[in-house]
Amino acid sequence: MKTLSKTFLFALCLVLSASQGACGRAQPVNLPAPDRRETPADAAEMRLSFAPVVRKAAPAVVNVYSRRMVRTQVDPFWSLFMGGAGIPQERVAQSLGSGSIVRSDGIILTNHHVIEGAQEIVVVTQDRREWPAKVLLDDPRADLAVLKIDPGAEKLPTIAIDASDDVQVGDLVLAIGNPFGVGQTVTNGIVSALARTGGSGAIASYIQTDAAINPGNSGGPLVDMNGDLIGVDTAIVSPAGQSSGVGFAIPAALAKQVVTTALGGAHEVVRPWLGLKGQSLSGDMAKSLGLAAPEGVLAAEVWPNGPSARAGVARGDVILSIDGQAVNDPGDLNYRVATLAPGATVNLVVHKPGGEDRTLAVRLEAPPDQPAKDEQTIQGRNPLNGATVINLSPAAATALGLDPFAGQGVLVTSVQGGYAANLGLQPGDFIRQVNGVQIATVGQLTGLLATPASGWTLVIERNGQTITARVQI
């Protein structure tokens, strides 16, 4: 389950199964170009039909099926009747979603969560043909993935990505996909809101729509009245797990960036950062800073000698806009930066505590990867056996969707059995101390764990809370 905002009253439901380097901004010439948006001339024209739009867009919309094997452990109670430990069993887990053909040689855009962990992916085109697919690029932070099928010399129908960023509240839109696995379905609505964000760690600035989006629609296109893709349907807010008229789509600008990166041969998107931690403003905070309204994003922390710091941004400044686009929360700011490339220069309008507004040019760069990641899986007779750990740097934190300002140290990224699993260690835990020694690097940690000991005292930080564990092995 994915949370877009803590202020939502209902649980956020991903639109899931019905059954259960650097990139440029320019769109490649071999991708179909979007048409200029034209709105209906009058109410009578609006009442005619969406059929021409559907005829243009629907042939490029596909169903995406993914399958993976899941190992499950028999309940310990039942294992008593099976001669000891429970026998792991395997079952096939399936996921259903949708996607869009964005290039005629079989390039398909969908959601990351549709194909996450898949061992087999099958794409079904509108004419009911099935195609095996491979993953060109999977981008969990943006919840996007790019697939490839092989149509040979055949040119498949495509949908253009309209990344012009001129979507407006009230625009008519269509959502096309395969809800509940019933077959391709079209629903209509309007753009209900823009720049819906999921907090300081998110990079999407979602388009909100009341067009019905249901399980199985994930990865399908949100289409404008020219039949162009302006968003990728990805999530809903619902108390029952089905459409309640509050759906969300990832904007086309972010989708185009991911597709362009995949077409360039890269397997991950390298995104820049500003080198600051943003915070939303309350009314009282805005008043104390000399602002008439709680607008902009407070620079709560600024990375020393980072891009913002070098440009003159200081802690306590308020970022009002980026390249002329107003920003009102950290998620919106992160999204605007994430759609750019390292090396780009952006203009920030910054409100200084004294009341002065200044325009500062910030040259974006990739987050630093120091200290080096040094990923290792702990072995040996010690309480962290089975845990994979890394040195946390801004680059590693950004890739994992964590706060780069959480502090340096050794982070657990996965737990694969061993003593660590018995201890209850979890991905995201920081190993802060071992037997009274402060831990700074993976090398230091593995050295300490290699030293025999009769017992172990671990200090672990989890979600800002400190846990002390004493272990005998």
Catalytic residues: 113, 143, 218
Q: How far is it, in rounded angstroms, from Cα 391 to Cα 397?
A: 10
Type of residue found at 157: P
Q: How far apart are CA 452 and CA 380, in angstroms?
A: 10
Strand extents, DSSP E, 317-455: 318-322, 325-326, 345-351, 357-363, 376-377, 387-391, 410-415, 430-434, 437-438
Q: What's the burial of 123, exposed, middle or buried (CB within 10 Å: 0-12/13-18/19+)? A: buried
Look-up of token digits 């020219």: 226
Distance CA 286, CA 298 (A): 9
470 DSSP β-pair partners:
457
d(C-alpha 265, C-alpha 137), whole Å:
9
Dihedral pair phi/psi, residue 94, rounded to 5°:
-120, 150
Give the span between the Cα atoms of 407 and 305, in whole angstroms: 16
DSSP result, 65-98: EEEEEEEEPPPHHHHTTTTSSPPPEEEEEEEEEE
Per-residue CA distances from 201 to 183, 196, 348, 401, 402 (Å) = 35, 13, 20, 6, 7
Cα separation, 265 vs 271, in Å, equals 16
